Amino acid sequence: MKKTSLFKNYILDDEILIMPGVPDALTAIIAQNAGFKCITRGGASGLHILGKPDLDLATLTELTDWTEKIVDAVDIPVFADGDTGHGNVTNVVRTVQLFERAGAAGLFIEDQVSPKRCGHTAGKQIISAEDMAAKLKAAVDARKDPDFVISARIDAIAVEGINGAIDRGNIYHEAGADLIFVEAPESVEQMRKITTEIDAPHMANIILGAKTPILTPQQLQEIGYSVAAYPAVSSCIIVKALKDFFEEFHRTLDYESFSDRMMNFYDFFNLAGLDKYRDAEERYTEQGREVVKNHKKLL
């Protein structure tokens, strides 16, 4: 089954889809090996490559290139962050085309003014519902695969309140969005109101220390969510572990004392399939020998 179709089926399934975020291909492999059925690449993952905050600094081609590398590394669907669509309806068309070409199973587009801000920070500005509906119409028409999921992210709670966000959610679903993503609800009551009053599949965005309450997947499912995304979980784990390591290593310079926290060198490379590449090299080398041997027999 196509990854797009698989992802769409996961969204429509009765059981909530758990979708951790990954910043790079190796992290994606680890998530897949752990058993996750789907992953997402959020915009904040650019922090790992650019060393900059989530300030809409990465370009469209950088984001699609990073996404393509993750897609190539795993067999499970990858859901992408399309930011604001990188411009008007014309830019949205190219955004969808490039992410679809990169192999993503879908993407979300948000209704913030560009340059956007992280959804859980202050000072957000949003475009009109009419302009966002136009972007979604363009996105739907731009996709070649009808199962490529188009999601609408709504950043309106901080600007227009919960009722304004819900009104936008219904408009965006009518415009063709397959999945509704109301960002940064501040209470369980708001979350329940969102899923009750917008008749569409919903995605919850769970980030430690942010505005949205931390609920279990079971609780989110009971409220009415179809997808639980944890976009920053890998990045926050990696950064905390490395920060602690470098500070302690700089203080002690005792490399061997970290052996219980590190993966064996060969196990590390085999995460990316080194043993499979070596087996393939040997197999093709042997086949090459056979070709030459058979050729000499014919002389």
pLDDT tens digits, 266-281: 888 888 888 898 999 9
What is the rounded average pLDDT of the residues 52-76? Answer: 91
**CA-CA distance, 105 to 6, in Å (whole number)?**
8
Q: How confident is the model at residue 284 (pLDDT cuts 50, 70, 90)?
A: very high
How do beta strands 203-205 and 106-110 pair? unpaired
pLDDT of residue 241: 93
Whole-number pLDDT of residue 86: 94
Rounded mean pLDDT, 180-184:
95
5 φ/ψ angles, rounded to the nearest 5 degrees: -65, -40
CB 144 within 8 A of CB 100: yes
pLDDT tier at 118, thresholds 50, 70, 90: low
- Whose structure tokens read 């990316």? 272
Is residue 1 over pLDDT 60?
yes
pTM of the model: 0.92
For the chain, list the domains and their CATH numbers: 3-231 (3.20.20.60)
- Amino acid type, 4: T
Mean local confidence (pLDDT), 139-158: 96
Residue with tokens 């190796």: 26
Residue closest to 87 by CA, chosen among 109, 54, 105: 109
- List, in order, residues 6 or more apart from 196 with CB less than 8 Å away: 224
SS3 289: helix
- Name the phi and psi angles at 154, rounded to 5: -115, 115
3-state SS assignment for residue 176:
coil
Three-state SS for 20-74 is: EECCCHHHHHHHHHHCCCCEEECHHHHHHHHCCCCCCCCCHHHHHHHHHHHHHHC
* Mean pLDDT, the chain, whole residue set: 92
Q: Is a pLDDT exceeding 70 seen at residue 2?
A: yes
* pLDDT for position 43: 65
**Least confident stretch, 41-45, 56-60, 80-84:** 41-45
Residue of 140, 200, 143, 145 whose CA lies nearest to 173: 200
